[in-house]
Amino acid sequence: MADCTHDCSSCSSNCGSRDKQSLIKPLHEGASVKKVIAVASGKGGVGKSLVTSLLAVRSMARGYRTAILDADITGPSIPKAFGAKLHATGDEGVIYPVRTMSGLQLMSMNSLLEHDDDPVVWRGTLIAGAAVQFWTDVLWEDVDIMFIDMPPGTGDVPLSVYQSIPLSGIIIVTTPQDLVGMIVRKAVNMANLMNVPVLGLVENMSYFTCPDCGKRYEIFGASKAEALAKQYNIPAYARMPIDPNVARLADEGKIVEADTDALQEIFLEVEKAREIKSFKAE
Instruction: Report pLDDT for 178.
Output: 66
Instruction: Report pLDDT for 20.
Output: 54
- Of 220, 114, 124, 229, the C-alpha closest to 175 is 220
Q: ∠ at Cα 210 (208, 214), nearest 5°?
A: 110
Beta bridge partners of 95: 90, 138
Q: Are 21 and 154 in contact (CB under 8 A)?
A: no
Per DSSP, 256 falls in state: G
Three-state DSSP string of 143-211: EEEEEEECCCCCCHHHHHHHHHCCCCEEEEEECCCCCHHHHHHHHHHHHHHCCCCEEEEEECCCCEECC
Q: Are 75 and 120 in contact (CB under 8 A)?
A: no
Instruction: Report pLDDT for 185.
Output: 85
C-alpha to C-alpha distance for 59 and 227, rounded to whole angstroms: 27
Number of C-beta neighbours around residue 32 at 10 A: 15
Per DSSP, 9 falls in state: G
Instruction: Report pLDDT for 15.
Output: 57
Give the CA-trace dihedral at 144, 25, 164, 84, to 10 degrees.
50
CB-based burial of residue 8 (10 Å sphere; 0-12 exposed, 13-18 middle, 19+ buried)? middle
C-alpha to C-alpha distance for 229 and 179, rounded to whole angstroms: 15
Residue numbers of the chain with a pLDDT score lower than 70: 1-22, 178, 278-282
* Strands of the 66-70 sheet, one edge to the other: 98-99, 105-107, 66-70, 143-149, 33-40, 169-174, 198-203, 237-239
Instruction: Report pLDDT for 256.
Output: 97
- Of 146, 148, 144, 141, the C-alpha closest to 64 is 144
Q: Are 80 and 109 in contact (CB under 8 A)?
A: no
- Of 179, 196, 218, 233, the C-alpha closest to 45 is 179
The one-letter amino acid code at 201 reads: L
C-alpha to C-alpha distance for 277 and 203, rounded to whole angstroms: 31
C-alpha to C-alpha distance for 168 and 153, rounded to whole angstroms: 20
Secondary structure of residue 46 in the 3-state scheme: coil
Which domains, ranges and CATH numbers included, belong to the chain? 24-272 (3.40.50.300)
Instruction: Report pLDDT for 9.
Output: 40
Instruction: Report pLDDT for 182.
Output: 80
